[in-house]
Structure formats: C-alpha cells, structure tokens
Amino acid sequence: MLTKEQIQIRDPFVLAVKVEKKYYLYGTTDKNVWEGKATGFDVYVSNDLDRWEGPFPAFRPEEDFWADRHYWAPEVYLYDGKYYMFASFKADRKFRGTQILVSDDPVGPFRPHSAGSVTPGDWECLDGTLYVDGAGHPWMIFCHEWLQVQDGEICAIPLTKDLKSAAGEPVLLFHASDAPWAVQSGAASSGKKNFVTDGPFLHRAANGDLLMLWSSHGVNGYAIGIARSETGDISGPWVQDREPLFGQDGGHGMLFTTFEGELMLAIHRPNKTPNERPLFLPLAEKNGRLSIKRQFRNPIVLQRADP
C-alpha cells in the first residue's frame, strides 16, 4: 500500500465508482514525462483516498501504436456502459493530440477506440476532456497549444455518440490571456507573448451554472482558474474569474465527489519533475462559486515508496 505522498503523478484524475466504493487514480505516470520513450499509464486504487494499491498497468501500447512519447493527462469516464479514456499522445513529426481509448473495467486494459487523435490533425493539442450537454450530445474540450498559437486556446469539438470521431469543426471558447490572473511564460526578451492553456474540466454547479476549471501560469507559479459560461452552454461566451481558485504552484485540476458527498479538487503539486504528487482539497460551493474550505499552507512532504 502507498500513501499519496509516495505517488509521483502529474495531472491526477479520480474516478469514484459508487457500486464498488473504490476510487481510481489516473494521471501522467511515466518517470520522465518530457523526454524519451513513453511506457504507458498506470492506475492506483483506494477505498479512502489515503492508502492506495498499485500501480496497475491501465494502458500499454501495442507495437504498432502511432505515438511513442509524451503520454499525458488520461481522464476516464463511465459512458454508455464502458470506461473511456481521453489521453494525449505525441510522436516525432506528428502533431500532439487527444485519442480516445476504451475498456470494460476501470483498471483496464484500455485499447484504442478512436482512429488516432480526435483533435484536428494539423493542430498541436492536448488535455482533451469529456463534456455531455443537456441534449445528451458529447463534446471534447481541449487545449490548442501555445507552442503553435502563442496565446493558448481552449476549444470545443462535437463528438459522435459512439465517441469514435469528431462530428464537426472545433470552436474557440477563449484564450489564456483573457484571464486577469494569467501571466506570460517564457523570456519576455523574445518578444513573444506566450500564454499557456492546460487541463480544462467542466463542472455543472448546483445552481445550474456551467464552470470550467483550467490551468496556466500565475504570479506564484502553476495555477487553476475558473471560467463561466454566461449562457450555461458550452458555446459561452465565457467570462474569467479575476483571481485563481488555486495559485500556489499546483494545477491541472478536476473535481469529484467523495462517497460521503464532499466535493473535492484534485491537482498535482509542485509542478516540477520528479516531485509532483497528488493533492486533494475539499471545496465549498455556494451560488455557483467555488472556494477551498481549508487554507492551504503546508508544503508537499515527499516520502519514499515501500521497497
């Protein structure tokens, strides 16, 4: 068994399966996520969010899989009776994109479901997340990377009901620089105003408001902000909160509800390899506004895994 302080992970995503009363923790789990050949995605399993079994190999690529590096940010959803994984992949001379995988079990093994990336083939994209609108139509919300457009974009693309492919053209929702809290990344001397978009995640508040968590760089490092759809629909327009929800060198957040009914924010912190660890923060929600219940003060305390 492991504590969460013993798990190196970026982009943590928690799937709470009520029928089993088990939490499944996915994320970017390769030891060096930036360089070299990728291994795959692991999953950890817990009854209480404190002690975790694993890692278990949720995805390992076949020899003919198209991507061999930058296996990032897997998210798993129960949809139409199966478990679907949205994850980002990259290969030399091929654009990064989000592909959809499928399994009959949350532990996997996950196998390719879509024919390659669902994001546009000539765009550098990452961090696709699933959203199902009020009419039951699935969408992928994703990032069009700053590497290609400088001012990172959050976009939406409709999906076919079977999640095998795109069902239309992508729609721009907003730019990273729209957020008052977001700061420029990279050297200012370059003359390029690069703004990062990472990790979109949709949340329908109890009052009906549609919120989007997303990450960029803030004044104190990696941060999570909230955008709000003025219409309550995915098309927006989207308005940014002035201050980040979390701005202390932690990000790529998602929300889940514990079996006790508490709303939780999952992030990784700090934002530096190999020190990233999952962090779960209880949230309060009132009138469509989210806040962290307890003030965050303590730094991450790293622990070694049991031999």
- What is the reported pLDDT for 220? 95
Distance of alpha carbon 178 from alpha carbon 163, whole angstroms:
30
- What is the reported pLDDT for 295? 63
DSSP assignment letter at 202 = E
What mean pLDDT do residues 273-302 have? 84
- What is the reported pLDDT for 306? 45
Which three-class secondary structure state does DSSP give residue 6? helix
Contact 128, 98 (CB under 8 A): yes
Q: Is the pLDDT at 185 greater than 70, yes or no?
A: yes
Query: Domain boundaries in the chain?
Result: 2-292
pLDDT band at 193 (very low <50, low <70, confident <90, very high): confident
Distance of alpha carbon 61 from alpha carbon 68, whole angstroms:
8
CATH of 2-292, one of 1.10.3720.10, 3.10.110.10, 3.30.1340.30, 2.115.10.20: 2.115.10.20
- What is the reported pLDDT for 190? 54
Q: Is the pLDDT at 197 greater than 60, yes or no?
A: yes
Contact 197, 216 (CB under 8 A): yes
pLDDT tens for 132-177 read 999 999 999 999 999 999 999 999 999 999 999 999 999 999 999 9
Q: In angstroms, what CA-CA distances link 13 with 30, 185, 228, 279, 287? A: 15, 25, 21, 11, 25
pLDDT tens for 249-261 read 999 999 999 999 9
- What is the reported pLDDT for 63? 95
pLDDT tens for 209-222 read 999 999 999 999 99
